[in-house]
Amino acid sequence: LGPDSKNRDLIPERITIEDADLCPRYSARWFDVQVGPSPSWLAERLEAAGVRPINNIVDVTNYVMLEMGQPMHAFDLERLAGGRLAIRRTRSGETLTTLDGVTRTLEAEMLVIADARRPVAIGGVMGGQDSEISAKTTRILLESASFQPASIRRTSRRLNLRTEASTRFERGSDIGSTVAGLTRAAQLLEQIGASRTQDIDVVDVCPVPRTPLDLSLRGQRIARVLGLHVPAADVARILTGLGFTVRVQKNDRWQVTVPTFRPDVAREVDLIEEVGRHYGFDRLPTTFPILTTAQRAPDPRIDRDRRLRSVLAASGLSESMTFAFIERDAAGPFCPPGTDPAGIANPLSEKFAVLRPSLLPGLVDSCSHNRRRGRKDVRLFETGSRFTSEGEGRAVALVWSGGGHNPHWSAEHRSADFFDMKGVVEVVCSTLGIKDAEFVAGDTAFLVGGRAAIVRSGEVTLGVLGQLRPSIAETRGIPPGEEVYVAELDMDALGLRTPERELRAETLPKFPSILRDVSILVGEALPAAAVRGTIRSAAPASLQAIVEFDRYQGKGVPDGRVSLSFRLTFRSQDRTLTDDEVEAAMNIIVAALEREHGAQRR
């Protein structure tokens, strides 16, 4: 192929395809040319299509690409070394300066067009600067090939190099149009005076020839699918006009060869669709279809998500949907300790640089967006995927900012607090059949210490809840001083349990209940659930209910202590309890609290 070639005819053995999976067909032809500007009609048509005219040779390749959908590339034949071309995968350490002037390091598995010394083009993406067409070029090699779409897309994205050619190749090109593209280019080069007619064979290398797809088409099947009879003459006329080769057989049967430019036609019903569209859907009779509904067992995950959304909406939260791609800085505080967020190759912008490790960054941004637009009370939830070092998982996240209840004339305004969010999480757990959920104090990187809890069910961690750190909230646009409470639960940990729905009738109580209130001082770090558990274990069977109705820290309470108040309901099923019996039970309960938790009765 080089300048030392005495035989100006290309022979197929000098073009080799080393990987037929990535390049099933490679066609080429050489021309003696005179490089110059393109005629006005050609340049104007390219400009109208958004393509910048360069010179007559390159413009012809672009014109054929737009006209036929077949990308092409022209090499300066004198710059190709060794008299050969190889279509192969990249070798270790190879680089190539592409036509845009950037020197790129080629990764393994990328497809290149190489001469005897080095790569001269990235297959299907962009040519190299060393073999580009210049004003001094007199002989060119014109390439017209077919490449595997997945390989081109992967190479284009890894190099962050997207071209008109790669866009077409990654969507699939017609393997049967490579030679036709060269023929059309030869016509145009002669028409604009860039090359003279030469009797030169096209080099067409196709290691694994493709057999055209043959389909059998039945008239009876056409009538059954479309609901009307299409004359045999119309069937043959329509398909022939669309480029199909039709061989008529007897009894309203046809053998149809599908052209390579129609990869969408793979079954008999695809041919029937073509016949129906061109025969006219307006001719189809109006009939009601006979439908059969397959009975399938409901997907428990869909049922769980539906119940979850329903209970959260009933709790006053609005559903939000946010992007799975977020900023790296936003993801940092929400990553598990010692891990980094999963990055995205060639992100659209820095705002979409990583996959979210949690749903909370996007949900907090939605909260900030609503606050900036005048919403004082924002309660949102979202279900979706999150991505950590352990892989992809589903979660539900909640955010609450502003008032703890809807404004009402009968109630004073109260800001949302930890217990409002805790109440919503308790409702979620109850709805999903989790009866043993407990809230344990714990530290999390993005939550305020002392206002954070880990939600557990036995040995399984369900999630976290608490107040978002003010530094993070302000970074995401929340006004200073505004408290934001968040929660996130692992959907996989929540499981697919179905709450018990059995209804049981009970007789009305025959005997009255007796109420007793007890207030105690305990350490501020002691969970109220631990106190309730001690009361329950120490109390007699007549204890029916325990309700925590007050929690106080302030004047009269020593530092490091907190006052907890509980209302206890006692009732016997077979007699009326006496005050002495209830008082004895209270003394036993208080003694247990003093012994187990160092409590002091107020």
Q: How far apart are CA 161 and CA 125, in angstroms?
A: 8
Answer whether residue 1 shows pLDDT above 60.
Answer: no
Percent of the chain with pLDDT over 70: 95
Lowest mean pLDDT among 235-239, 295-299, 344-348, 536-540: 295-299
- Would you kindly state where each structural domain of the chain is located, as residue ranges? 12-205, 213-283, 300-494, 514-601
pLDDT at 246: 93
Contact indicator for 389, 336 with CB cutoff of 8 Å: yes
pLDDT, tens only, 415-452: 888 889 999 999 999 888 888 888 888 888 899 988 89
CA 372-424-542 angle, to 5 degrees, is: 155
Mean pLDDT of the chain: 88
Which of 171, 167, 198, 193 shows the shortest CA–CA distance to 182? 198
DSSP string, 113-162: EE-SSSEEEETTTEEBGGG---TT--EEEEEEEE--HHHHHHHHHHHT--
Superfamily (CATH) of domain 514-601 = Ferrodoxin-fold anticodon-binding domain (3.30.70.380)
12-205 architecture in CATH?
Answer: 3-Layer(bba) Sandwich (3.50)
- Domain 213-283 grouped into CATH 3.40.50.2300: no
Lowest mean pLDDT among 223-227, 497-501, 525-529: 497-501
Lowest mean pLDDT among 67-76, 102-111, 292-301, 404-413: 404-413
pLDDT-derived band at 3, boundaries 50, 70, 90: very low
pLDDT at 497: 64
Q: Model's pTM, two decimal places?
A: 0.59
pLDDT at 191: 93
pLDDT, tens only, 339-372: 888 888 888 888 889 999 999 999 999 999 998 8
Contact indicator for 39, 194 with CB cutoff of 8 Å: no
Q: How far apart are CA 101 and CA 34, in angstroms?
A: 24
Tell me what the mean pLDDT of segment 490-516 comes to.
79
Superfamily (CATH) of domain 300-494 = Bira Bifunctional Protein; Domain 2 (3.30.930.10)
pLDDT-derived band at 381, boundaries 50, 70, 90: very high
pLDDT-derived band at 10, boundaries 50, 70, 90: very low
Answer whether residue 298 shows pLDDT above 80.
Answer: no
Strand partners, 516: 568
Answer whether residue 414 shows pLDDT above 50.
Answer: yes
pLDDT at 13: 53
Answer whether residue 36 shows pLDDT above 90.
Answer: yes
Which of 180, 174, 156, 176 shows the shortest CA–CA distance to 166? 156
Helix (H/G/I), strand (E/B), else coil: 514: strand
Answer whether residue 390 shows pLDDT above 60.
Answer: yes
pLDDT-derived band at 374, boundaries 50, 70, 90: confident
Residue 218: what residue type? R
